[in-house]
Every structure is written in C-alpha cells, then in structure tokens.
Amino acid sequence: MAIKQHWWKALGVALVLYSIVMGFLGTVPALWVLHETIRNLYFHVTMWFAMMTMLTISLGYSIAYLRNFKREYDVIATEAANIAMLFGAIGIVTGMAWANFTWGEPWPNDPKLNGVAVGMLAYVAYFILRASIDEISKRGRIAAVYNIFAWVMFLVFVNALPRMADDSMHPGQAANPGFGALAPGMRTVFYPGVVGWILVGIWLLNIRKRSREIEYKLLQNELN
Amino acid sequence: MLKQIVNLIGKEFILEFRTKYALGAILLYAVSTVFICYLSFGTIDNKTTWNALFWIIELFAATNAVSKSFAGESKEVQLYTYTLASPGAVILSKIIYNIVLTIVLTLVTVLVYTILIGNPVVDMVLFIETAILGSAGFASVLTMVSAIASRTNGNLALMAILSIPLLIPILIIVIKLSLIAVSGMQLQDPTGFLVALAGLNVVTAALAYILFPYLWHE
C-alpha cells in the first residue's frame, strides 16, 4: 500500500459525490413497485461491490502472508476485513430500508439476506479467533488460514446458494432480470459509484494500516 | 503418501478400538439426546419439525465427535507424528477417519430416532444419501476447524464459534434435500443439490490439505 500519489483519493471522493448527487437528481425509469426507490441501487448495491473487493484484498494479503510471513500483510488482511464489515453493515441497513418499501418488511426470508448475515458471522468468528491468540506470528498464520476458508464459504453463501435456492427475490436470481436489464442512464451513475466506493475503501484501508503501524512503533519504543 | 495415510488411519482405528472412548461417548450423546426428544415430544406429526430436530441432533453430535480429533492428542504425540508423516497425510487421514466415525454416528442416530420417534421419510434412499454426504461434509469442515482451534490457547468453546458459520452452507443444502426426501414431493430435482454437496465436500478437503501445513509448523 505504498501509493504516494493522492489523485486517486480525490477521484474516489469525486466519483462518490457524483453518484450521490446524480443518484438523487438524475432521471430514473418509472417502474412498477420500485418507483423512486430504484435510486437506492446507487447506495445499496455499490456497498456489496466494495465489500467483495475488500474481502478479496483481505484474501490476497492472507495468501501473501502465508507465503513470506511479513507482519504488514497480516495487518492489511485484518483491516481490509474490518472495512468490508463496515461496507456490509451499511449494505444491510440500506437493503433493509429498501426491502421495507418494496417487499413490505425489513427482513424477508430471502436466501441472499440470510447468506450475507451468516457470511458476516464467519468474519466475526475470524475476529474472535484473532483475539484469542496472543503471539503475533502464530495469530497471523492461523487467522490467515481461517480467512481463506471464510472467503470461500462467503462466496458459497452469497453466490452459489441463492442461485440454487431458486426462491430469491434479488435481481439476477431465479427468474429475475439481472444487471443486463439496468437502464443505460442508470449505468453511467452506478458504475462510477462502484469505482468511487472501492477507491474510498482502499483509502480507508491505507489510513487504518498506517495508524496500526504507528501503534506498533509506539509499542516497540515503549518496550525498548 | 498413500501408505502414510493408510497407516495413520489404521493408527486412529487401533487407538479407538483400544479405548472405545470416543465412540462410546458420542453414541451415548446421540442416543441420550434422541431419548430426551422422545420423552418430551413422544411422536412428531409435523415433518418439518422432525427434519429440523434430526439435523440439530446431528450437528451437535458431529461437533462433539470431531472436536477431540486434534485437541485430544498431546503435543508430544503430535510432534512425533509429524516427524514420521507429511502434514498432508496427517490431515487427510484425520478427515477420512472422522468421516467414517461421523457416518457411523449418523446411521446409528437415524436408527434410534426411527425406533423411538418414528420415521415419516418417503424416499429413504435419498435421505440416507443426504445423511452420508452431509455427515462427510460436517466431518471435513469440523476436522479443519478442530485443527485451527487446537492451535489457540486450548479453547474448546472456540470450536463452536468457528465451525457453525462454516457449517451452515452444508446445513442449508442438507435440510433442503432431506425435506424433499421426507415429503416425497419432487418439487426440485435433488441431483443438483447432491452434486453441490459432494462438490462442497471436495473443496473443503482440498482447502484443508493445502492449508494444514501452515497450521502445524511452529
């Protein structure tokens, strides 16, 4: 994460702001049931893209940690999972608000919802596992192994199972139309939003990682 | 490699036959849980309840059975094993042994459950297939998690916290399949689910095989 330039941070903020402003002001097709709530797509769905990216970054650094045991890689893997949980929490809240309007209740019994909830539980277990081991290098190694497991299971939860279950109300599942049916005018807001949130996530990761490094150095100074 | 696996599995079985500790303990656990259900429910008319109860018993019986597979060994015994065999052989032999143990446990539970509470299953072949594949899945996930949990500060409570989120995908598929078997209504073709379940088992075992070497070396 040794990116010294700052332009991408500005780009991330600009894209997020653009998607928020255009999300409220842009034209959207008038649809049955959805009406204006379709605008939530810009805020709800982007969260899952950002979350999945952060989880994959976390997976990548866990694999890298198992290859050469650099302490920084373990820090990045943890913090990426942390930020993914933040995105996931926002995704669940925006999704519940949306579901309340369109499906009539905040938590309908939908395989995608349940899958994400349990998938996030697996990551909570990951943090509990980390907290239960004191030795830094051992913690990194064992947590990395569990992280790889959790990522595979998360993919099974949010992608494979809802598709198999055949009764999900989410787009792209069962007989529902997927992203191919997205109106062209909405694509120019949605995809920049996705990129923006991912960049903001990487920025957050960068800050968290640096603050953890400072904490570590302070601890080292105290010990010496 | 293959010879090592066969020898290690043989070792597990010999140890088990000498002490009969694990098998006795888990059979007692499964039978007494079913008996408690029998005492409180009598017979169960609702098929969904019957199914749910069976898998709850099964889940915790399997967790109990497998959780001892690494924590039960002393550090010295583990070190000695690792000097003789490759880590891949160690984990695969443990997984295979636990699969056999869990399948035996499941079949006994099905039998006792059927005798005491009754058996509304229409498609018994599908139900047994599901039970065998499902318990193989439980065993492989739980073996890996017990390896992880044994590396922490000897905390068995961690076993449940770590394994239950990872077991739920298997449980979801298994409950769907056994509901089809219990109701006898083929609303969905069960073959796809069976293949998915077998696939999940293979993926779990492969991940365990790849990742286990990082767990044991200090």
- pLDDT tens-digit series, residues B183-195: 877 666 778 888 8
- Cα–Cα distance between B119 and A74 in angstroms, integer? 50
CB B132 within 8 A of CB B103: yes
Judged by CB atoms closer than 8 Å, whether chains meet at B153 and A121 is answered as no
Reported pTM? 0.87
Pick the closest to residue A120 from A47, A210, A198 (CA basis).
A47
Q: Classify A108 as helix, strand or coil.
A: coil
B113-135 burial code (b ≥16 CB/10 A, e <16): beebbeebbebeebbebbbbbbb
Instruction: Write down the pLDDT at residue A179.
Output: 64
Name the residue with tokens 């318990």: B135
State what percent of residues in chain A have pLDDT above 70. 88
Mean pLDDT of chain A: 85
Q: Which residues of B touch A111 (CB under 8 A)?
A: 172
Question: A6-15, A137-146, B149-158: which range is least confident on average?
Answer: B149-158
Instruction: Write down the pLDDT at residue A166.
Output: 64
Please give, rounded to a whole number of angstroms, the shortest distance from the CA of B15 to a CA of chain A.
Answer: 28
Among the partner residues A146, A160, A166, nearest to B162 by beta-carbon distance? A146
pLDDT reading at A155 higher than 90:
no
The chain A residue lying nearest B165, using CA atoms, is A122
pLDDT reading at B155 higher than 70:
no
Instruction: Write down the pLDDT at residue A173.
Output: 62
The chain B residue lying nearest A166, using CA atoms, is B188
Pick the closest to residue B203 from A143, A151, A159, A173 (CA basis).
A151
Judged by CB atoms closer than 8 Å, whether chains meet at A153 and B192 is answered as no
pLDDT reading at A92 higher than 80:
yes
- Cα–Cα distance between B202 and B207 in angstroms, integer? 9
Please give, rounded to a whole number of angstroms, the shortest distance from the CA of B49 to a CA of chain A.
Answer: 18
Helices B124-151 and B190-216, axial angle in degrees (round to 10): 20
Instruction: Write down the pLDDT at residue B154.
Output: 62
